[in-house]
Amino acid sequence: MTVLDELVAEDMVNHAAGPQGREGLGQILQTIEDDLGPISFEQHHLIADGDLVVQHVTMHGTHRGSTMPLLDGLQVSGRAAAWRFIHIWRVADGMIVEHWACRDDMGLVEQLKPA
């Protein structure tokens, strides 16, 4: 998580909800790792224009916990999962200062629900 110190502003605004700032992003990433780790990313597109960077990515992992609100109440399945995202990052002075996201939450939940 120390890489966040180099890339993310301490007071980053996360418009995608959840905890705010660099510390909040770290908490979100740790929860995802705890619930779906070990995780890896497949990057499909990375586009930059001015101070904005858009990232289309699929996160791959294994369902090993259900502590994040999205997975609340779901029995741990141990199944592999792919979760698609589009992130928009605003960068100022070399640091990420704002974040927006569009996630395929329903697609993730469908993969993990009992058969």
Checking DSSP bridges between strand 8-14 and strand 52-62, what pairing results, if any? unpaired
pLDDT, averaged across the chain:
96
Predicted local distance difference test score (pLDDT) of residue 37 = 97
Report the distance separating Cα 81 and Cα 100, nearest Å. Answer: 22
| Contact present, 44 and 58 (Cβ < 8 Å) | yes
What's the whole-number mean pLDDT along residues 67-82? 95
Q: What confidence tens digit (pLDDT) does each residue in 35-55 have?
A: 999 999 999 999 999 999 999
Q: How confident is the model at residue 114 (pLDDT cuts 50, 70, 90)?
A: confident
CATH T-level topology, domain 2-112: Nuclear Transport Factor 2; Chain: A, (3.10.450)
| pTM of the shown model | 0.91
What ranges make up the beta strands (E) of 1-115?
8-14, 40-49, 52-62, 80-92, 95-103
